[in-house]
Structure 1
Amino acid sequence: MPALSRPRVSVIIPAYNSLPELTRAVTSAMDQTLGQDRVEIIAVDDGSTDGTGEELERLARTCPALHVIHQENSGCAGVPRNTGLDHARGDFVFFLDSDDYLGPDALRRMVAMADAHGTDIVLGKIASVGGRAVPRAVFQRNQPRTDIFSSHAYLTLGPWKLFRRSLIERLGLRFPPYRNCEDKPFTAAAYLNASGISVVADYDCYYVRYRENRTNLTLTASDLAHRMDGTRLCFETVARYLEPGPRRDQIMRRHVEWELCGPLRGLLPRESEQDARERFFPEFRHWASTWVTDALFQRLDAPDRLLVHLLRADRFDDVLTVARNAGRDARRGHLVDKGRVYWLHPFFRDHTAAVPDICFDVTDRLPVQHHLEAASWHGGVLRLAGHAYVEDVDSLDPATEIVLRKYRADRPEVRLPTTPCPSAHPLPGEGRRYEMAGFTAEIDPATADGGAPLERGLWNIYLDVRAQGVSRTVRFGNRREGGEVTHPTRRRVTTSQGPVTVVPYFTPYGNLSLDVGEVAHPLDPPCQVLRTIWHTRSTLLVGGRLTEEAVRDGGALRLRAETGTGGVHEVPVRGEQGGSVNVFTARLPIGRLGPGCWTLTLVMEGPGEDAPRRTAIVPYFDRLAATRWLRFGCRPYYAKPVALGPARALGLEVAPIKVVTGVRRRLGG
């Protein structure tokens, strides 16, 4: 088959007695802006008896891209997905459950992300319909290229993702024939072997919902009998692809928490005591003994540590007791003892239970609440005011400190005291529990470092929140009262080593930092744009030169197009082949931009969440003309360059051309 006839995406829809939700699912795939000529839809009727097969045939008569396959009922979603995979021809595969549906622009956005960054898996933002739980942590922002070790991607093991088909075929991946948890080993294996993962977080790509008749497999096959095979395969899959060590522990933790401890608490008490003791407990005990290393055990939350300890010790009756009372016991209070905080579970320091204190230690898990309420210069001294406390630890004998850590420098941190005071705002808790959580602090750049001035460079500000001997250190500034605290202006400070300029600023994550000496000020542009030309009718080329500071810092530069309504499209900036290290070009495919006015900027962020963001406008050059092109091969569009604001930043007005208007102009009427 010629390469040009191959679809970009094969959408695979397993369907069993899926009416009435099925129609919405299929039509959402048919109506993708990527275009029916670039999408094939493979719907597999898994022996339905409610008219699902007939509805699929009706839809197929209206859409050449829809191919229907009928097979005997398999009793699970994995087998019809495998049938779809056997027939798929697309560069990518997307698994769409018949209960759910796609956003109209979902596939176009995900394919564009994979193409631009060479990634094997793309996660599109998942939205809930009717209250079904959805993952949120991984979708806080777009991530052009990441992996499972530096993102929250591994928390989402559902198959509703864009997979590069060559990855699936190279690994020989297929779904096991289980009624529940069949998707997790498949997705885990793909994650563990993927060449990069992308996240589309600025658009609702996938909508999940429960069926009207509540016959989703996740509901009808939710007991332990349907979960054990899939869970066992999850652990074995991780062990197959990762060597023992911190990386394996990091990934195993997800399965220990979600597939071992969660079902143990929620489902084991529902089983008969004989099944629980003889059928399921030995398997749970084997997993806890085999896959939970001592290092991983330390990273678990206290309720999970307690369960794992009891499993390893072969204490079935105690495991069942803890599982049955989990909801009630979770609400028990805490004890502060010698600078540590312990969960007051009935087994805590009960000599008959003989459970070590480590199973109840929650010191490093308690949330720290903190807010910056004011930041202002008083002469050459920066004064901060705020409040901070560790939840469930009364603010008695508070001794919170400001901690300054120099960015990307191996040198001792700088610690400064705060002055405790009553909080200026009412805080939660009974009586006067957190009354003394307020504080004020002074940072004098001329003397802060043990009487010496702060070294030139970027300094990140932390809080070491202390009370009753309990200490927790957190990054400071990203929570500001009412969102109204702004950074003070730069200040010229006289030090023993001469005058220096100090600039407080907020990082891209909202944390407060100091730039001492403006060595590489985050507001200074990282580059200069020297040209903008049309590389093709629908591709804009932006070229320029990085500053020496930007080259030295080694941050990742991206060309960003965004609209005032929240639309964002980014492409990487690459060095010119064979050229100087500070010469760059970026190619923006404007054919992927929707209608609207798009502002262009260049954005550089260094590695790490405390790295400053530096931006540069793409200027408007008079010589850049308007352009026209055909979208999806048939619809005419245009992009008109415009100058925006006093800085004359480049904007692109993108819109479809009205065919009638275009014809009239050509005819002069």
Structure 2
Amino acid sequence: MSRTSPPRVSVIIPAYNSMPELTKCVTSVMDQTLGLDKIEIIAVDDGSTDGTAQELDRLAQGCPSLRVVHQPNSGGAGGPRNTGLDMAGGEYVFFLDSDDYLGPDALRRMVAMADENHTDVVLGKMVSVGGRAVPTAVFSHNQPRTDIFSSHAYRTLGCWKLFRRSLIERLELRFPPYRNCEDKPFTAAAFLNADGISVVADYDCYYSRNRQNGNNLTLTAADLVHRMDGTRLCFETVARYLEPGPRRDRIMRRHVEWELCGPLRALLPKESEQRAREVFYPQFRHWAQSYATDGVFQQLAPPDRLIVHLLRADRYEDLMAVVRNAKEDAARGNLVDKGRVYWCHPFFRDPVKAVPDICFDVTDRLPVRHELAEAAWTGDGSVLRLTGHAHIESVGALEAATRLLLRPRGFEHPDIPVPVAADEGGFTVEIDLGTVDSGAPLGPGVWDLHLDVRVRGVSRTVRLRQTLNDPNGERTTPPKREVVTTSRSGHEPTTARPFFTPHGNFSLDVRRTEDEPPCHVTGIAWDTSVPATLIVTGRLTEEPPRHPAPTTLRAEDDSGSAREVPLRYAQHGGHTGFTARLPVGKLPPGHWTLTLRTDDPKRRILVPPTKGLTGTHWFRLSRLGRPYYAKPLPRGSKGALVLRVAPVRLTVALRRRLGRRPGAAGRT
């Protein structure tokens, strides 16, 4: 098959004695919905002796998109990956281990995510096959565009991701020749320099499995001698690309916990006394002194703080005693002293060991188990009654000093404390919104509710939440209620709307009644059947509405030009819903702010931004078929959704494609 254009994705598969898993690995790429005309598969046989080479050659006979390279064994996965990178011509590169396989729609979804959000790295949801550990936190939800400081992406440094190849070549990235941890410095460098990271979490993209014969490199090269070089390079990579300070400390923490303390605790006692003392201990101590700054130290859990302290203090024997007895000492319980909780480790307050208390202070890490059981208005007034339970794990049930805190979100105001009635772990609190603020009503704004749990002098503050759902799988909130009181500034009726955040946290939205919108937008999405058409759905908040209901969806650009489409109303259950269809493909280039309009020309209802809305592309026949795109701007105008409509810059797109061809200028 001869190509008329460069492939979108180069899938690189390093293979060494990979039978029988190899066949499913390769065929999972051949079966991708993205299409083999947009994929090149580069499989590098690294000196296999089990039939891997012959199977690759057989598969290549029936698939022109599969290129097979045979080379002498290099001892690790980095060498064959580098061979594949030197041959790759795709706009993107994906590394697929020969043990694993892809979901059929994986590459199409990841490429679309990168294209729509102009991101350099895309993480596809990983799935465990046969019990192999995979990351989960980063895949809690789709993230069209994020970074390592705003997500859990940096917690997964395996290279099984989609990388924009121009990023790899700009940084001159290649894998070091190590048997273990060779991919962590590579991925770390890409993360630290990426122009945006995307996460595909709503589709099972990557299936990770252990080999039947148990010869995964992560298992056969798990000892310290195979980890130290990769660990050193991880620390050096972060230090190279991040200036000292809180941002570097946040990233270094991951390596101190996972690459320093974890392997030291698990693997150092297995080494001979001489190698442990003379070879590995000096390297661990150097990393602790160089990279575990005070900012990192404060973020560590007490067991890791203790290890780092002993490394800094050059106390080898004490360190070995700690790691050898780690499992036994972890179960020794805690001690409460003057409002702090300490781990009862044998070194705690031992005058001979003289270890600082901070190495044992677990106060801020103790889980607070709590649940909001019920929220309801009492009578016809402005009193909101909350009941639930709470306790601090290993310390005890809450006491009478516990308080509820109303905390403002995004505006200046002191926290408002409300007394809580506590009884055997349960709590009840009544919030009179008409007088809660030192005799004045609760002012307009969003107020987040926190529980300041007090037990035996220990204080922990957590967001008040409800994790349990009703039989319909939902959380029941009290209806909104108008609160009419006399405040310091006069007679100002307000409307309070209790609500749960997507994570189950409880909050109050208080607005002046005259500002209460007559409707809420409930959905924003691109029409899947009509190109470049935006669908906005919503519902009336009151029936009949207090204010004029919206009649049109309006898009207005920076020059004042506007386009409007009507709202279509229909009854849905017990409420009135509406739908508007905006043909974005007919809008001229510009920044278009979306609002809902009523018959009152002074009243404007903002269409809010939504994290789930990505960009879209289409072709305009009136412009000789030129491609255009629309995408939401990251920060709208005063909270409204703003769409950027613009033509795709053909010269830039052409230059990028030419620059990615094998042998083109700029390759390194």
Letter in structure 2 aligned against 1:388: A
Residue 494 of structure 1 and its aligned partner are, at CA, apart by 2.1
- What is the letter of the counterpart of residue 488 of structure 1? P
User: Does structure 1 conserve the Cα–Cα contact (< 8 Å) formed by 2:147 and 2:153?
Assistant: yes
Corresponding residue for 1:227?
227
Q: In the aligned structure 2, how far is the partner of 1:201 from the partner of 1:90?
A: 24
Partner of 1:503: 497
Aligned-partner Cα distance in 2 for 1:467–1:18: 56
1:399–1:527 CA distance, 2 compared to 1 (3 A): closer
Where does 1:580-659 land on structure 2 (aligned, <5 Å)?
581-582=593-594, 588=616
Task: Check whether the contact 1:373–1:481 (CA below 8 A) recurs between aligned residues.
Answer: no
Cα offsets for 1:125-162 (capped at 9, x unmatched): 00000001111110000000000001000000000000
Whole-Å separation in 2 of the counterparts to 1:270 and 1:189 = 31
Deviations 1:307-360 (A, max 9, x none): 000000101111111111111111110011110000011111111111110000
When normalised by structure 2's length, the TM-score is 0.79
What amino acid maps onto 2:503 in structure 1?
Y
Matched, 1:320 2:329: no
Name the CA distance, whole Å, in 2 between partners of 1:451 and 1:19. 75
DSSP 3-state at the match of 1:267? helix
**Which residue of structure 2 lines up, in the alignment, with residue 249 of structure 1?**
249
Tell me which residue corresponds to 2:480: 490
Given the superposition, is the C-alpha separation of residues 384 and 396 from structure 1 closer, same or farther in structure 2, using an over 3 Å criterion? Answer: closer
Aligned residue type for 1:252: M
Distance in 1 (alpha carbons) for counterparts of 2:174 and 2:518: 50
Q: Which amino acid letter does the alignment assign opposite residue 410 of structure 1?
A: E
How far does residue 477 in structure 1 lie from its aligned partner after superposition?
Answer: 1.9
Q: Which amino acid aligns with 1:480?
A: L
Query: For residues 587 and 275 of structure 1, do their structure 2 counterparts lie closer, same or farther at Cα, with a shift above 3 Å needed?
Result: closer
Q: 2:80 — aligned with what?
A: 80
Summarize the Cα distance change of 1:521–1:359 in structure 2 as closer, same or farther, 3 Å threshold.
farther
8 A contact 2:392–2:398 mirrored in 1: no
The structure 2 residue matched to 1:545, chosen from 542, 554, 570, is 554
Code of the residue aligned with 1:137 in structure 2: it is: A
Matched with 2:417 is 415
Question: 1:56 matched to which residue of 2?
Answer: 56
Matched position secondary structure for 1:486:
coil
Which residue does 1:453 correspond to in 2? 441
1:413-446: CA deviations, max 9, x gaps? 111011002xxxxxxxxxxxxxx21100011110
* Paired residues for 1:343-422 under 5 Å: 343-378=343-378, 379-395=381-397, 397-421=399-423
| In structure 2, C-alpha distance between the alignment counterparts of 1:2 and 1:398, rounded to whole Å | 77
**In structure 1, distance between residues paired with 2:518 and 2:176:** 53
In structure 2, the residue corresponding to 1:256 is in which secondary structure? helix
- Which secondary structure does the structure 1 equivalent of 2:191 belong to? helix
Cα pair 2:3 2:37 within 8 Å, conserved: no
Q: Deviation string for 1:526-558 (max 9, x for gaps)? A: 5999x9999x9755456953799xxxxxxxxxx
The CA deviation at 1:478 is: 3.8
Distance across 2 between alignment mates of 1:339 and 1:354:
22
Deviation at 1:508, TM superposition (A): 2.5
Query: CA separation in 1, counterparts of 2:243 and 2:90?
Result: 33
Letter aligned with residue 438 of structure 1: G
Aligned to 1:149: 149
The percent of aligned pairs where both chains have the same amino acid is: 64
Offset at 1:499? Answer: 2.6
Change (3 A) 1:546 1:137: farther
Structure 1 unmatched runs, 5+: 422-435, 549-572, 592-602, 608-612, 616-669
Is 1:175–1:186's contact at 8 Å kept on the other side of the alignment? yes
1:175-186 to 2 correspondences below 5 Å: 175-186=175-186
Q: Cα RMSD over matched residues?
A: 3.0
Aligned-partner SS, 2:418: strand
In structure 1, give the amino acid aligned to 2:296. L
- The equivalent residue for 1:660 is none
Change (3 A) 1:347 1:15: same
The structure-2 alpha-carbon separation of the partners of 1:523 and 1:70, relative to structure 1 and needing over 3 Å to count, comes to farther
The answer for the alignment partner of 1:93 in structure 2 is 93
SS at match of 1:253: helix
Superposed CA offset, 1:168-225 (max 9, x none): 0000000000000000000000000000000000111001111001000000000000
Inter-CA distance 465–7: structure 2 relative to 1 (3 Å threshold) = same
Aligned CA distance change for structure 1 residues 215 and 300 (closer, same or farther; 3 Å): same
Instruction: Map Cα deviations across residues 357-396 of structure 1 (whole Å, 9 max, x no partner).
Output: 0000000011111101000000320000001111111126
Letter of the 1:108 counterpart: R
SS of the aligned residue for 1:517 comes to strand
Find the residue that maps to 1:389 and give its secondary structure: strand
Structure 1 CA distance for aligned equivalents of residues 458 and 192 of structure 2 = 38
TM-score under structure 1 length normalisation: 0.79
- Quote the Cα distance in structure 1 between the aligned partners of 2:109 and 2:386: 43
Instruction: Tell me the distance in 1 between the aligned counterparts of 2:298 and 2:39.
Output: 47
Quick one: distance in 2 between partners of 1:282 and 1:219?
25
| Partner amino acid, structure 1, of 2:467 | R
- Over 3 Å counting, the alpha-carbon distance change for 1:500 and 1:473 in structure 2 is same
- Partner letter of residue 475 of structure 1? R
- Separation of aligned partners in 2, 1:528 and 1:13: 41
Task: Tell me, yes or no, if the aligned pair for 2:492 and 2:512 is still in contact at 8 Å.
Answer: no
Shift of 1:498: 3.5
Q: Secondary structure at the match of 1:305?
A: helix
8 A contact 1:541–1:588 mirrored in 2? no
Alignment gaps of 5+ in structure 2: 537-552, 558-583, 596-606, 608-612, 620-630, 642-668
Structure-2 residue corresponding to 1:466:
454
The match for 2:570 is none
Q: In 2, are the aligned partners of 1:523 and 1:614 still within 8 Å (CA)?
A: no
2:452–2:462 contact (8 Å) kept in structure 1 = yes
SS at match of 1:24: helix
Paired position in structure 1 for 2:36: 36
**More displaced 10-residue stretch of structure 1: 386-395 or 20-29:** 386-395
Amino acid at match of 1:486: T
Q: What is residue 194 of structure 1 aligned with on the other side? A: 194
Distance 1:521 1:172, change over 3 A: farther
Aligned equivalents of 1:577 and 1:547: distance in 2?
Answer: 12
Name the CA shift for 1:581/1:66 in 2 (closer, same or farther; >3 Å).
Answer: same
Q: Which residue of 2 aligns with 1:111?
A: 111
Distance 2:434 2:237 in 1: 56
- Residue 26 (structure 1) aligns with: 26
| Shift in alpha-carbon separation, 1:53–1:461, aligned structure 2, 3 A | same
* Residues 503, 518 of structure 1: 8 Å contact kept: no
d(CA) in 1 for partners of 2:39 and 2:516?
Answer: 47
Q: Does the 8 Å CA contact 2:526/2:535 hold for their aligned counterparts? A: yes
Residues 605, 614 of structure 1: 8 Å contact kept: no
Where does residue 520 of structure 2 map in the other structure?
A: 525
Q: 2:465 aligns with which of 477, 481, 484?
A: 477
State whether residues 524 and 614 of structure 1, in contact with CA within 8 Å, keep that contact through their aligned partners in structure 2: no
Q: Secondary structure at the match of 1:5?
A: coil
The answer to whether the 8 A contact 1:301-1:362 is kept is yes
- Aligned partner of 2:279 in structure 1 is 279
Q: 1:463 to 1:42 in 2, by over 3 A?
A: same
Deviating more after overlay: 497-506 vs 477-486 = 477-486
- Residue 14 of structure 1 and its aligned partner are, at CA, apart by 0.1
2:117/2:145 contact within 8 Å kept? yes
Distance change (3 Å), C-alpha of 1:374 and 1:606:
farther
